[in-house]
Amino acid sequence: MVRDFSTWKPWAKRAGAGIHSIHMEINKGTILGLIGPNGAGKTTLMRAICGLYDCEGFDKSSERRRREIGYMPEQVRWEGNVSVKHALESIAMMREDEVDLDGIIQTVGLSSKSEQILDNLSQGMRQRLSLACALIGDPKILVMDEPLNGLDPLAQRAFCNLLRSLANKGVAVVISSHQVADLEALVDRIALLHHGQMLIEGTLDNIRKELDLDEKSGIVEMICSATGISPDDVSLQLSNDDMLPFKTLGAEEE
């Protein structure tokens, strides 16, 4: 049970107002998708859950809570001239638990790259390494911020399958992703955030009913309906023809 987040401080020199008054249940064995427009507070909420921010009801010095949570931040750029295995060992050292690193490396598909230097990893491999870090210590809750970024379609599917099997084993997963098609197929429940507040939470079907949407409506329609944002409000338009370099390119190709 996560409740009463209050990270908003008027004197803090940080962009945005943070998140406030969020009541949310994270159930064992379920995958909860956090959705919302850019700047809604998804990442802030995830960091708060993981104890990276102090907030009401939570203390970031709480090691017990962090022991139960595996966190995969968005787009970690692993670098340095140490091997993948060494990087994982460094993270594992920060936990007192017995860790089967070889098993984790195999689970995330990095067996062939375990001795490779971090500087030589592709973005997809770096994502896998971040996932491996999140899996260290057999966490009861997995919190993942845009985990599908940088993964090829096959890896994305494998990733989703892995998350489902972890959920089947009783792990609670909290995931945010802008890749809505994958998310719709993956999640059991959805929490919709906007301006640091949670607007609605439930299964996809329940949310559709609550928002009075038809059965074919997806996450984008849910966001638009719940937040009142029209797709036209966020459309990207070029101000003049001079800003169309591809037009020239197209002419050259012809």
Dihedrals φ, ψ of 225, to 5°?
-65, -45
DSSP element (H, E) containing 73: none
Q: What SS3 state is found at 27?
A: coil
B/e letters for 33-71, b = 16+ CB within 10 Å, e = fewer, are bbbbbeebbbbbbbbbbbbebebeebeeeeeeebbebbb
Residue whose CB is less far from other proteins, 75 or 165? 75
C-beta of 71 vs 159, nearer to other proteins: 71
Pair 88, 105: CB distance under 8 Å: yes
Report, in Å, the least distance between residue 103 CB and other proteins.
19
By beta-carbon proximity to other proteins, the closer residue of 50 and 191 is: 50
Tell me how far, at minimum, the Cβ of 145 lies from other proteins, in Å. 9
Alpha helices by DSSP H, 191-232: 204-210, 219-227
Token representation of residue 239: 């101000």
126 versus 194: smaller Cβ distance to other proteins: 126
Compute the least distance from the CB of residue 213 to other proteins, in Å: 35
CB of 77 to other proteins, least distance (A): 4
- Between 57 and 231, whose beta carbon lies closer to other proteins? 57
Nearest approach in angstroms of CB 75 to other proteins is 6
CB 168 within 8 A of CB 140: no
* Sheet arrangement for strand 31-35: 69-72, 141-145, 172-176, 31-35, 189-194, 197-202
Q: How many CA atoms lie within 13 A of 52 on its CB side?
A: 13
Q: Which residue's CB is nearer to other proteins, number 175 or number 199? A: 175
At its nearest, how many Å lie between other proteins and the CB of residue 15? 12
Instruction: Kindly tell me the burial class for residue 237, based on how many C-beta atoms sit within 10 Å of its own C-beta (0-12, 13-18, 19 or more).
Output: exposed
Q: Quote the least distance from Cβ 112 to other proteins, whole Å.
A: 22
Closer Cβ to other proteins, 5 or 208, answer by number: 5
Residues near other proteins (CB under 8 A): 14, 47, 50-53, 60-61, 63-64, 66-67, 69, 71, 73-82, 86, 89-91, 93-96, 130, 133, 137
Q: Could you give the C-alpha distances from 205 to 184, 211, 218, 222, in angstroms and in order?
A: 11, 10, 10, 11
